[in-house]
Every structure is written in C-alpha cells, then in structure tokens.
Amino acid sequence: MKIGAIIIGDELLSGKRQDKHLQALIRILAARGLNLAWADYVGDDPARIRATLERAFAGGDVVFSFGGIGATPDDHTRACAAQALGLELAVHPEAGALIEARFGADAYPHRINMAMFPQGSRIIPNPVNQIAGFSHGDVHFVPGFPAMAWPMIEWVLDEQYRHLFNDSPDVEQGVIALNAREGDLITLMQDFSQRYPALKLSSLPSFGNDTIPQMHIDFGFTGQRQLVEIALAEWRKALTAAGYTLQERA
C-alpha cells in the first residue's frame, strides 16, 4: 500500500504559516521503514476538499489528512468527508463521551460537533486534549496542530499498519558528475533503468552553486541497499569511461 498526505488550510497556501506536517510525516514513516508516495495541499474550499477526499477514499492508499476537523466555521473536513463517502455525520459515542468528560456542560452546543464523524468511523485517540480524530477505511483525519497530529499518526501506524513496516528500507546513494549535461547521458540512463528495473534512477542537474561552482549532475539510485551499491559501482565506471570527473556528495 502506498501512503499519501492531504494538508488542508488557507493559511498554508497564503504563506501565513509554514507547513511542518510534510517533513514530520516523512520522518515518522522513515522510522518505520516506510515512504511517502504523494502529498496534496488544499485550501479551505469545501468543493476541493470533497473532491480530494473522494479520490483518497477510492484510491486504496493509506492517507493522512491534516487539519479542518475543529468546530469553527472554516473547518470543513468532517462534513466533506461525509459527503465524499455519501454518509451522514453523527456524534461518535466514544468521541462524544471524551468531549463531555473534558468540558462538561460546556461541551454544548459547539464543542460536541468535534465528535461528529461520518457514520461507521473509528476514533484516533488524542493524547493532548482527548478530542479525537477519526478514521474511515484507510483514510485518517487528525488536527492541524503538530503536537496533537504527530503522535496520533504514530498511533495509527503502530496499531493498524505494523504489518507494512520494513526492517530493510530502501536507501538512496549517488555520485556527482562534473561538467555533465543530461542530454548527453539519456541513452546511458535508459540502459541502466532497463538493467535495474527494481531501482529508481534520479538525475538532478545544476548550473553550479556555492558548493560546486561548475555545471554538474547529481545522480542517485534508490532501492535495496545491496542492489543500489552494485548499480552505483557500475554507474561510476560507466561515467568514468565516458570521460567524466566524479565528485562525492558532501
């Protein structure tokens, strides 16, 4: 199963806030030998959120959705999730009880709405303030607050997806070819891609920077370590034979 992220909020698209979730999710997944396959950023537009969630529910990936599950008028995610599923919103008994236990009579009339999930949802415990997130299928909804969202994601992974954890995760290794141009090396890259179909070959060209002033290409192979090391050794030989000077990554 691939893993994706949906990060919701106008404040991210306007630049008022910098997103912290993407890098955190990558780190959380990497600690379990997993990789992030894709990410979508969506503003507080109900139609776009609904369309994005429709794709997520239909796609078969594990998806983490950040933000928009509060009680204010600009929190659309819960309603959009229900619409995307064609289900009604209803107070989840356990989530509602947690809110009532925390706020008492002040849970009404507004805070209780944070327990309104699409029917059939499962709760995600919130260790910070006990206001739960929710899951439906393999799509998981957490708040936009990092201190809450990140441990909730870890809980979901550890409780529901331990079978996906990888004790031998992919690695990425590479080498830099100085004064190289991609157009001159396409045939060689095609040959190696066919020779090593289990690996991903990347090519990152540069006209020069503070570290390496001359034009260069940073080549990388991603996959299982043993195969990466074999392919990279052959790639080095091929580049050297073609007359390129190689430099190790910093």
CATH, residue 194: 3.30.70
Number of separate domains in the chain: 2
- 250: pLDDT strictly greater than 90: no
Q: Is the dihedral of CA 221, 224, 225, 229 positive or negative?
A: negative
pLDDT computed for residue 1 by the predictor:
87
Q: What band does 192 get if pLDDT is binned at 50, 70 and 90?
A: very high
Instruction: With CA atoms as reference, report the closest residue to 81 among 72, 73, 90.
Output: 90
The reply to whether 22 and 123 lie within a common domain is: yes
User: Does the CA dihedral 226-229-232-234 come out positive or negative?
Assistant: negative
- Report the pLDDT averaged over residues 166-174: 92
Average pLDDT, the chain: 96
Is 92 within 8 Å of 111 (Cβ atoms)? no
Q: Are 159 and 56 part of one and the same domain?
A: yes
Q: How far apart are CA 87 and CA 78, in angstroms?
A: 11
Angle ∠(211,214,220) on CA atoms, nearest 5: 70
Length of the chain counted residue by residue? 250
Residue 237's pLDDT is 97
- pTM listed for this prediction: 0.81
d(CA 161, CA 111): 31
Query: How does strand 133-136 pair with strand 62-66?
Result: unpaired
| Mean local confidence (pLDDT), 59-79 | 96
Which of 148, 164, 180 terminates a domain? The answer is: 164
Q: Prior bond to 109 cis, omega within 30?
A: yes
User: pLDDT tens digits, residue range 71-117?
Assistant: 999 999 999 999 999 999 999 999 999 999 999 999 999 999 999 99
Work out the percent of the chain whose per-residue pLDDT is above 70.
100
Q: What is the mean pLDDT of residues 45-53?
A: 98
Single-letter residue type at 67: G
Domain end call among 139, 164, 189: 164
Q: Are residues 53 and 125 in the same domain?
A: yes
The residues with which 117 forms a beta bridge, in sequence order, are 90
Same domain, 92 and 111: yes
169 or 41: whose pLDDT is higher?
Answer: 41
The pLDDT score that the predictor gives to residue 169 is: 87
Q: Are residues 218 and 145 in the same domain?
A: no
**pLDDT value at residue 246:** 98
pLDDT (mean) for 210-216: 94
- pLDDT of 167 higher than 90: no
What distance in Å separates the CA atoms of residue 174 and residue 187, rounded to the nearest whole number?
18
Query: Do 42 and 76 fall into the same domain?
Result: yes
* Domain that residue 213 falls in: 171-247
Which residues fall within 8 angstroms of residue 212, CB to CB, at 6 or more apart? 176, 178, 206, 247
pLDDT for 146: 96
Per-residue confidence (pLDDT) for residue 230, from 0 to 100: 95
Q: What is the DSSP letter of 210?
A: S
**How far is the CA of 200 from the CAs of 26, 86, 194, 224, 246, in angstroms?**
18, 39, 11, 10, 20
- CATH number of the domain at 25, please: 3.40.980.10
pLDDT of residue 23 exceeding 90, the answer is yes
Q: Cα(82)–Cα(61) distance, rounded to whole angstroms?
A: 18
**189, 87: one domain:** no
Residue 131 DSSP one-character state: -
In order, the DSSP letters of 180-198 are --HHHHHHHHHHHHHH-TT
Same domain membership, residue 105 and residue 139 = yes
Do 125 and 149 lie in one domain? The reply is yes
Give the residue from 99, 138, 92 showing the smallest Cα distance to 118: 92
Residues 160 and 175 in one domain: no
Cα–Cα distance between 99 and 240 in angstroms, integer?
A: 65
Under the banding of pLDDT at 50, 70 and 90, the label for residue 133 is very high
Within this chain, do residues 175 and 63 fall inside the same structural domain, yes or no?
Answer: no
Q: Which of 112, 144, 164 is the last residue of a domain?
A: 164
Q: How confident is the model at residue 177 (pLDDT cuts 50, 70, 90)?
A: very high
Q: Is there a single domain that holds both residue 81 and residue 145?
A: yes
